[in-house]
Structure 1
Amino acid sequence: MRRWWPFALLLLALAGLQFKLWLGEGALGEARVLEERVADQRRENARLQQRNDALSAEVEDLKSGEAAVEDRARSELGMIKPGETFYRVVEPAGATPPAAEAPRDAGEGGE
């Protein structure tokens, strides 16, 4: 009769460990969810890093190049150089408006 006692104790310990593995705190399901969250966060970090790199390059370009400042002033603020003529094309009422209006040079030697 005493022979089954150690076997029963080992079986009970195994059942307890299996319960903890599958359903307890830090179980496999919870670990899988956490791995997915880490992967999502890594993708978001990579996307934001690319955005930061692009913004850093733009800042560097604006700091070092006068051409970039001029281009931005022309496209975003509608500024023109002295001697240039600005033309605005007005579309008919039913037409779709252009995406962006940019000033156009009157000639090559407009500086």
Structure 2
Amino acid sequence: MRRLIALVLILMLAGLQAKLWLGEGGRAEVEALRESVKLQRAENKRLEQRNAALGAEVEDLKSGTAAVEERARTELGMIKPGETFYRVIDPPPAAQAP
């Protein structure tokens, strides 16, 4: 009788250990979740930095004309009255001398 009880207890222990190591919520899943959290934190940090840069750009655009002027020049190709616009075109890479 004692052997049967010991055998049942050992089987239960083995089953619980198998569930701990291999089953749902086991070690492998926990490690995968930790890696996922690590990647998500890195992505969140990158997005926070991007948001901060965009926020600073919005504030700059709201507070002064220099940023608006810079944007008009670079994105829209605008120039001030009296200025002369020059476009410099680089030769294609194949036409450059060796």
Partner residue in 2 for 1:47 = 46
1:12-50: CA deviation from partner (whole Å, max 9, x where unpaired): 221111111112111111111111111111111111111
Q: List alignment gaps of at least 5 residues for structure 1.
A: 96-111
Partner residue in 2 for 1:3 = 2
CA displacement at 1:5 relative to structure 2: 3.5
With the length of structure 2 as denominator, give the TM-score of the two structures: 0.81
Aligned residues: 94
Greater percentage in helix: 2
User: How high is the sequence identity, in percent, across the aligned residues?
Assistant: 65
With the length of structure 1 as denominator, give the TM-score of the two structures: 0.73
The more displaced of 63-72 and 79-88 is 79-88
Question: Over the residues paired in the alignment, what is the CA RMSD in angstroms?
Answer: 1.8
Would you identify which runs of 4 or more consecutive aligned residues in structure 1 move more than 4 Å? 90-93
Q: List alignment gaps of at least 5 residues for structure 2.
A: none
Partner residue in 1 for 2:55 = 56
